[in-house]
């Protein structure tokens, strides 16, 4: 029965959008990171991202990370500034201790901009975090 299904709450996993200098061409890039602040590894992480509004929708992008170690992070996407006018959704699914977990993170339109950058101590960089 539906009432018997337990859906675990996802905590200590976050998505961050970070403005960084690209060392190759010395330009500013917006990169997206997944942060694992848990004391356990995350296995078979699948991230599905898409930008959307009432009138526009981007292509769906999927990425897989086999293992995201405990207390670590990984860059997984370069984000184009043209997407900042859209809501940007990141659906994250992973296994933790052999249990499936799922969480959706949404950066609302116009919230990814330099004025909203904050220090992200876990990354040692400045960016915008969605918890």
The residue ranges of every structural domain in the chain are: 13-121
Strand partners, 89: 50, 106
Q: Which two tokens stand for residue 127?
A: 């960016």
pLDDT in tens, 82-111: 999 999 999 999 999 999 999 999 999 999
Q: 13-121: what CATH class?
A: mainly beta
Q: Are 75 and 32 in contact (CB under 8 A)?
A: yes
- Give the pLDDT band (50/70/90) at residue 2: low
Residue 8 has what pLDDT?
87
Average pLDDT over residues 49-72: 97
């Amino acid at each position: 029965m539906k009432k018997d299904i337990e859906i675990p709450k996802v905590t200590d996993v976050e998505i961050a959008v970070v403005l960084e200098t690209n060392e190759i061409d010395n330009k500013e890039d917006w990169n997206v990171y997944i942060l694992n602040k848990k004391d356990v590894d995350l296995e078979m992480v699948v991230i599905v991202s898409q930008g959307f509004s009432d009138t526009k929708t981007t292509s769906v992008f999927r990425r897989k990370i086999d293992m995201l170690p405990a207390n670590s992070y990984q860059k997984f996407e370069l984000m184009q500034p043209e997407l900042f006018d859209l809501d940007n959704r990141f659906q994250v699914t992973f296994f933790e201790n052999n249990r499936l977990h799922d969480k959706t993170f949404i950066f609302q339109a116009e919230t990814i901009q330099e004025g909203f950058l904050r220090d992200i101590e876990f990354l040692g960089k400045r960016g915008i975090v969605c918890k």
